[in-house]
């Protein structure tokens, strides 16, 4: 690990990973995903392609790469920069927990990437994710008493679209929207919210 930290300055991260794979295949000892967790945890300033390369290296030796990597990214102050499609697509196990972590940490970029990947994998998402998103993104700043309405609107719509893709949106969500913060409610109803509900084939009697 120390060598990885040292050599990153010289662009040799991938070279070192190749050497580690070589040694691993010879000894038949798979590389552990803790290697990747360490790379993120150290805050190494390398390109996300290096992280993607590391994931492939672990898998090449028979090691497993789980969503613990994604959760670690989102828990690290430096980690979100690595949460891009190229990296997330390499994760074998990607579930609702990754998305919940992104929402709880209010990582908009990560939410977009994870939602897209889960949609492509046709993962059915629970409607409760919409409630969680509204709750987290309408939390008011303790000093200004405000929240970012545009960001809240954008994030809720991203999550709701992902839920709609392979899940179900019911009157519960509409009721939640009606009872949500006035600013957010106005933004959602006056823009794309009702269209999204139509896509979800929400029965009018729910209104």
Per-residue pLDDT, averaged over 165-187, amounts to 69
Of 11-25, 34-48, 166-180, which one has max mean pLDDT?
11-25
Cβ neighbours for 140, distance < 8 A, ≥ 6 positions apart: 146, 147
Cα gap 124→40, rounded to integer Å: 29
**Are the C-beta atoms of residues 97 and 125 closer than 8 Å to each other?**
no
Residue 207 pLDDT class (50, 70, 90 cuts): very low
More confident residue, 103 or 179: 103
Instruction: Please give the pLDDT value at position 78.
Output: 66
């Amino acid at each position: 690990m120390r060598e990885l930290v040292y050599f990153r300055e010289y662009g040799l991260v991938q070279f070192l990973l190749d050497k580690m794979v070589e040694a691993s295949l010879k000894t038949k000892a798979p590389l552990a995903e803790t290697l990747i967790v360490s790379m993120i945890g150290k805050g190494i300033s390398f390109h996300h392609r290096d992280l993607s390369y590391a994931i492939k290296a672990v898998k090449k030796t028979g090691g497993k790469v789980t969503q613990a990597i994604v959760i670690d990214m989102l828990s690290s102050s430096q980690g979100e920069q690595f949460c891009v499609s190229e990296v997330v697509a390499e994760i074998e196990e990607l579930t609702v927990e990754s998305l919940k972590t992104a929402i709880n940490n209010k990582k908009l970029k990560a939410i977009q990437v994870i939602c897209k990947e889960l949609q492509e994998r046709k993962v059915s998402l629970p409607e409760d994710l919409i409630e969680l998103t509204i709750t987290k993104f309408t939390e008011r700043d303790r000093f200004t008493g405000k929240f970012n309405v545009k960001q809240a609107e954008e994030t809720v719509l991203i999550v709701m679209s992902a839920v709609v893709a392979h899940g179900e949106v019911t009157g519960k969500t509409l009721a939640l929207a009606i009872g949500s913060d006035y600013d957010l409610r106005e933004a959602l109803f006056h823009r794309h919210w009702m269209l999204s509900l139509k896509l979800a084939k929400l029965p009018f009697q729910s209104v």
